Chain A
Amino acid sequence: MWLKFEQRPEPSKTMSYVSPILAVALMFLSGLLLFVVLGKSPVEGFKVFFLNPLKDSYGIAELFLKATPLMLCAVGLSVGFKANVWNIGAEGQLLIGALVGGGIALHFEHTSSAILLPAMMVAGALGGMAWAAIPAFLRTRFNANEILTSLMLVYVAELVVSWLVHGPWMDPDGFNFPQTKLLSPEATLPILLTGTRVNAALLLAIGALLVGWIFMNKSFMGYQMKVAGQAEHAGRYAGFSAKRSVWIGMLAGGAMAGIAGIAEVSGPVGQITEHISPGYGFAAMIVAFVGRLNPIGIFFSSLLMALLYMGGEQAQQYLALPSSISKVFQGMLLFFLLGSDVFINFRPRFIRRRK
């Protein structure tokens, strides 16, 4: 017997929704296996990793807190991914957004104006867009591959952050720690639920999901981008500009990542440090794919990804495993998703092997 994939006459809509669920199930299974390999009880491991984080309302609030930057980044990236614009530098755009927005907060630290916070958010978005504009420009003007350029700019952004917090922006009273001053209460996002850390950025993220949904499903421009992504030649024939797709895709990703960055600085982190993001910009790519590049899907997949982050912390605390185990889970999830997606276009069939 031999497994063979037979092309379906048309892609299966059902399978495109079943595939992420299958991927998550496979991730859980291999997670159990991983715990066994590591010499931990799989039941205990599962409990610590996936159930512990959610056992009280504080945990659930933390889940939404961590899902917020993922939602923001992923919905922005999904616009580009639909049009086959591969912005993989959201992490760098997030950092620059955090710097520009945080810079405003530090510069106007004695201001208690009501427009300070909105100005910071706008500045964060603009910072992210500016960083994303570089690969967009290099792609549209010089044909330089945006995958490589946007990724290189992540490293540059990290070094810019490192320079600022070690040098000009370092808190003079901070005992030489590489970090800026704490943001003033006026520059801090309001908490939504007292006793938790979940803040107004969650509302921004949900707003972004709504706007993203309307853009991709109800606007002509969103339609053009989808066509350009699915059938390049058809898009070109219809006169849809490929360059515009690149610009819109990159800028949408940059703006959302920038807001995610400043929201972290003016939220849970509270200052600019070298550890603003535990790789949210990269995890957001997985979120976008697992969410099928669809805002509703992204909402749920960002919660799942946030759970993986929290599970990693729990595993470190209670199972003495490195917290990077969450990244192993994240990577596995994406692999399983890509693998399961074969069923969208193909039907598995067992055939007898010919001699």
Chain B
Amino acid sequence: MGLTFISSIIFATVVAGTPLIIVALGELVTEKSGVLNLGAEGIMSVGAVVAFAVTHHSGSPMLGILAGMTAGMLMSLLFGISALTLMANQVASGLALSIFGVGLSAFIGKPYESIALASVNPVRIPLLSKIPVLGPALFEQQGLVYFSWFLILAVAWFLYRSKAGLILRAVGESPVSAHSIGYGVVKIRYQAVLFGGAMAGIGGAFLSVFYTPMWVEGMVAGRGWIALSLVVFATWRPGRVMIGAYLFGGCMITQMFVQGSGAKISIPAQFLSSLPYVATILVLVLISRNRSTIRLNSPASLGQPFLPDA
């Protein structure tokens, strides 16, 4: 196995893991405020198609990402209205968002099928990209890859080092106490939900603008749900999201690995494609079997509606 091959495997793993990191961190912040938004798949789908359309028409990937982010926020606003203002069941509201988003993206995306975007040149980091093997793998990536690394630090700092993060976590642990000392629980939860939506929108945009550069119905292919599982896997800690995301990213590129290794084994493509989903199930089992891990780490009020003035 040549060094270039190893380098390209790392490169592809990082690329595949990037949208998972971004989406999962957004969801992590949402969940830390006590809100379970199962709509990531739908938000990503809409983010992907909107980003694709805007990039196609404007020629600017940057505008595309911003549009994907905005679309993601609008989608999560729908969830907020349902789950926070109207106090509907969060699980059902999230499911509704996923079903709606996947359908809406297929509807919007119909005219854009079979169009390809020009591939975007990567951002080379001077000096670092000269490191053998790791340089081309890690430092000749798209800007959003660096953004995902920055986001891990930013979210970790926000949650554990900033006052606003402390308040957010307090809202997630005990909304009644937070409310009684004067914090606007619903308002803070709205902000967390919008942040999650923005990140899921960017994650979707990454898929359609950089990863495949095209739009195909159903192209998100469960990544939103995998990102949700990733939050559980990471036991709600930002740093661990990265490990999990690259683990799943690795599962997603096994196809390339098998072909590149030159092994003369014929595995049906479908089996390799099912790996990320099977891995997700295994990982959920491994993490969840110890009930106290989940109980200690998950926000105490996760999934429960909050009634102001009740």
Contact = CB atoms under 8 A, between A and B. Distances in A.
Interface of A: 5, 7, 86, 88, 134, 138, 141-145, 147-149, 151-153, 155-156, 159-160, 162-163, 166-167, 282, 285-286, 289, 321-322, 324-328, 330-332, 334-335, 338-339, 341-342, 345-346
B310 interface: yes
B78 A335 contact: yes
B282 to A, nearest CB: 9
Q: Which among A147, A166, A286, A289 has the greatest number of chain B C-beta atoms within 10 A?
A: A147
The 7 closest A-B pairs by CB, nearest first: A327-B103, A331-B100, A324-B106, A322-B110, A163-B270, A338-B88, A334-B96
A331 B96 contact: yes
Nearest to A285: B95
B232 interface: yes
Contact of B81 (A148, A166, A339): A339
Contacts of A345: 87
Interface residues of chain B: helix, strand, loop or mixed (majority): helix
Contacts of B78: 335
A324 B82 contact: no
Contacts of A342: 86-88
B268 interface: yes
Contacts of A147: 38, 91
Contact of A155 (B82, B221, B228, B232): B221
B228 A327 contact: no
Contacts of A142: 285, 288-289
B99 A152 contact: no
B14 to A, nearest CB: 23
Interface stretch (B166-174, B188-196, B273-281): B273-281
A322 B288 contact: no
A148 B229 contact: yes
Given A143-B289, A148-B229, A338-B96, A155 B103 contact: no
A148 B274 contact: no
B281 A328 contact: no
A328 B105 CA distance: 9
A324 B277 contact: no
A163 B268 CA distance: 7
Contact of B281 (A138, A160, A326, A335): A138
Contact of B99 (A86, A155, A334): A334
Contacts of B104: 327-328, 331
A335 B96 contact: yes
A345 B104 CA distance: 30
A322 B294 contact: no
A162 B270 contact: yes
B278 A156 contact: yes
Q: Which among B87, B92, B229 has the greatest number of chain A C-beta atoms within 10 A?
A: B92
Nearest to B224: A151
Contact of A327 (B81, B89, B102): B102
B225 A167 contact: no
Given A331-B100, A331-B101, A159 B274 contact: yes
A339 B100 contact: no
A341 B228 CA distance: 26
Contacts of B239: none
Contacts of A159: 270-271, 273-274
B131 interface: no
10 contacts: A142-B289, A143-B289, A143-B294, A148-B229, A155-B274, A167-B268, A321-B107, A327-B102, A335-B93, A342-B87
A149 B284 contact: yes
